[in-house]
Structure 1
Amino acid sequence: MSGPRWLTGFLDSPSRVAEPFWSAVTGSGLSARRGPGGEFATLLPGGGDAYLRVQVVGDGPARCHLDLHVEDVAAQARRVVGLGASVVLSDGELVVLRSPAGLLFCLVPWRGEAVRPAGGRGLVDQMCLDVPRAVFDGEADFWAAVTGWERRPGSLPEFDFLVRPDGMPLRLLLQRVGGDGAGMHLDLACDDRAAEVARHVELGAAVAWTGPRWTTLRDPAGRPYCVTDRPVTGP
């Protein structure tokens, strides 16, 4: 059975305060709102298929999760549970699960998405899974099995990554972190990090940390994310 045909990164927030920021950063429009309380919307790129969405969750802190678009939600849910996930919610159309390390993700129907949007000066192109060192190897193996993507060591010892198929909009990076809690954050590739960071700050972000290869910022909702030196046209 094949893995996901498409990935969507979700920005989960207590309010809509960061939505104009992410629309501006990505150069995307915002779709009509969906859900009983209008909690969902899609960031619509200028070309290609959408792969970023926003959700008002009503509690904090602001965070991220992944949707995996699959051909058969029920069958994939059974497979993923067999790999170590636990079901949080199933409503027939989608299944919400928790990974062995505690990361929330969803299985949703694939609707034919296939065209990765092109980047401009910057491109949201990676979801980083921040995993405590004590459970890192098991969690990395879990995601490799769920996706069917090869696990490889990163350029720094704290990172591994999964080799995404051509055309997939989001790469998956796994980072060894301290503490007991796992989380996710988005990363952007860019051609000029200093200029891209300055653009984000002008739009409302705040710099949290700057290193030799990436800068960590917080969006207007306080959600951490990174602008990296990885090229926009990279794999």
Structure 2
Amino acid sequence: WLLSAHDGNISYLFEYEPYDGGYVSFGQGGGKITVVTDDFSRFTWTFFLRTKDETSSILRNFITEIENLKDLKVKIIRCDNGGEFKNKEMHEFCTKKGIRREFSIARTSQQNGVAKRRNRTLIEATRTMLADAKLLVTFWAEALNTACYVQNRVLVNKSQNKTPYELFNSRTPAIGFLRPFGCHVMILNTLDHLEKFDAKGDEGYFVGYSMSSKAFRVFNKRTMKVECRFF
């Protein structure tokens, strides 16, 4: 999806692009990704789904949240002709809110160009990050989510000379806490009852940032689970 500004008034035009990532999960999600991009700022969101049937409800919730948080009106959404967009629930939701839907024609990538380019950039970054960190492909969703998080904060929009984060939030992002994806970490064990000579920490890897709090996501090699640790 896409977001654009006209005559100084920001209006939401979201461009949507689905991607089937396979069987690997991110958190409790599945192997399908929905990428949503704001046309004006190029700020991007990623959603991980078990099935495409979840797309409609996730996007309806997303639109409602964006309108409440930013006090702005979503006016247009652009996507492909997938059935997850052409359903009764989505039609009624958009009709009620006065949102116009635009559908791209099959095999005409230029009609959904921003989303497709963003999708490609994220996938290429994910592949590079996994290779550089020497992590298995099973971490692809964590890598992709991290790539999106970082690119929103460091890639500069040439026409505006600002990052997507600056354009979307009207403030400069803090980036001092950013860490290399896949770097080794020691995770302090604060959960288990430890004997005097037990190890107080577990080895792991840094795999991203929490979307809901100021915390790192780390993979614990002992428990084989991803944990959130506040910074």
Tell me, yes or no, whether TM beats 0.5. no
Tell me which protein shows more helix as a share of its residues.
2
Question: Which has the larger strand fraction?
Answer: 1
Query: TM-score, normalized by length of structure 2?
Result: 0.28
